[in-house]
Structure 1
């Protein structure tokens, strides 16, 4: 069988996609690490979050336009609202630092559902 060799554009596109995926993973890991460091070393946590934010900004600034339609985005937000409203059994899943980092990330996300979830989480966090 003769296979058509990959075009140079296709290979470059795949390399770019691989690099973007690696940067997305790095940003998530930095944000997670910031949450873990929040109590022990707030300055280091802030540096980690700034770096994660910088990576996210680069990805947002340089990425292709999203192929998702507005309908898909509304459906995603509808599903988020459904999950937020679900009053199932509560589970202790996060450390205080992780919860604080999640609240910060939700506030940066900017959707109404994320803001509502951040508000609900903040109400449950102890005040300092």
Structure 2
């Protein structure tokens, strides 16, 4: 096995607190998914990791990713248009529930491209 090019020096309290990961099909989607929509998706994944769904307030998402609620709504709308998330409204005063869709067409398209690349190397 080859030597890793990214390594951690030692166990860190920052890393021990956990971290969010993005599936390769999201990071390799290029311009099909905007960079901030990718970060928003990663943040939703971080919240949903245990149960497969999450319900952070848009205010909380904005604070987490360093933007405002209007921008968060724009990124969420992009993810919805790409069918990467489904938003279930819970009613007035309640947070929306975000359901993550790992079978979105854009993700399947990127997966096929990655598989072709692997076959060509093969």
TM-score after normalising by structure 1: 0.24
- TM superposition score normalised by structure 2: 0.25
Bigger strand share: 2
- Structure 1 or 2: more helix by fraction: 1
Return the index of the structure with the highest Cα Rg. 1
